[in-house]
Amino acid sequence: MKWLVLLGFVGLVACATSPEGRRQLMLLPDSQMDQMGVQAFEEMKQKDKISTNAADNAFVKCVANAITGALDEKRNWEVVVFDDPNVNAFALPGGKIGVLSGILKVTANADQLGAVLGHEVGHVIARHGAERASAQLLEQGGLSVLGSVLASPGTPKYQLLMAGLGLGTQYGIAMPHSRTQETEADRMGLQLMARAGFDPQQAVELWKNMDKASGGSPPEWLSDHPSNANRIADLQAHMAEALEIARATPRKANCRR
């Protein structure tokens, strides 16, 4: 029966192409993903403590604005710093960025935070959340269940769908990005931080810091693959292009703590 349900949605399945030319399953339009991202973000703001540290807020918003300002599509992004010791950050469709204050202890400077946020925004631009949410919808029965799922916060199906956006930590469900999605976001983030006027070489230093902070284990805010060493090697392999972009880009923001 499950397979009959899935086959019934074959005609509705749409495909997209990632920035690196990979075929992606897309059941949800960008407008629906934006709505889901806004809904999830509003829930987080209501239940999680928001930081009142003026210096942290100014610093994070300075870096985030530089990153989003380098995007081709111009929109107003909402940036919130959450008072949480966990090492985590995320970006959501609908123009939302969340930074947990714990990550500021691992990022040594604005360039390294730029690497973090460039990576997270890269997931959004590459539509990785839509790709994962589409897979979850197929498992749950297709688009016909979307309305009922979104209307039922707190249920397992709702939590699974929200975790597909990249909020696994917040919803208590481990749903890491795939190795391919992580690598795509790394490469997009490297170019994005260079276009924003940050030093792309600091992305490598960030991962060295992450490796030390986690005792050689992957940090909570990203999946358990690729390994830190492989991630650094791939960043270095694409560094020449990013440095060329950086050389042609004046530093856009003087972000300091």
Write out pLDDT tens, residues 65-100: 999 999 998 899 999 999 999 998 999 999 999 999
pLDDT of residue 22: 73
Q: Is the pLDDT of residue 175 over 80?
A: no
| Residue of 125 and 250 predicted with greater confidence | 125
pLDDT in tens, 190-228: 999 999 999 999 999 998 888 887 765 555 445 445 567
pLDDT of residue 80: 98
CA distance 164 to 137: 10
Q: How many CB atoms lie within 10 A of CB 238?
A: 16
Task: Please tell me the pTM assigned to this model.
Answer: 0.81
Find the catalytic residue in 20, 42, 120, 241.
120
Q: How many CB atoms lie within 10 A of CB 231?
A: 23
Average pLDDT, the chain: 80
78 in active site: no
CA distance 35 to 239: 35
Q: Is the pLDDT of residue 8 over 60?
A: no
pLDDT in tens, 44-61: 899 999 999 999 999 999
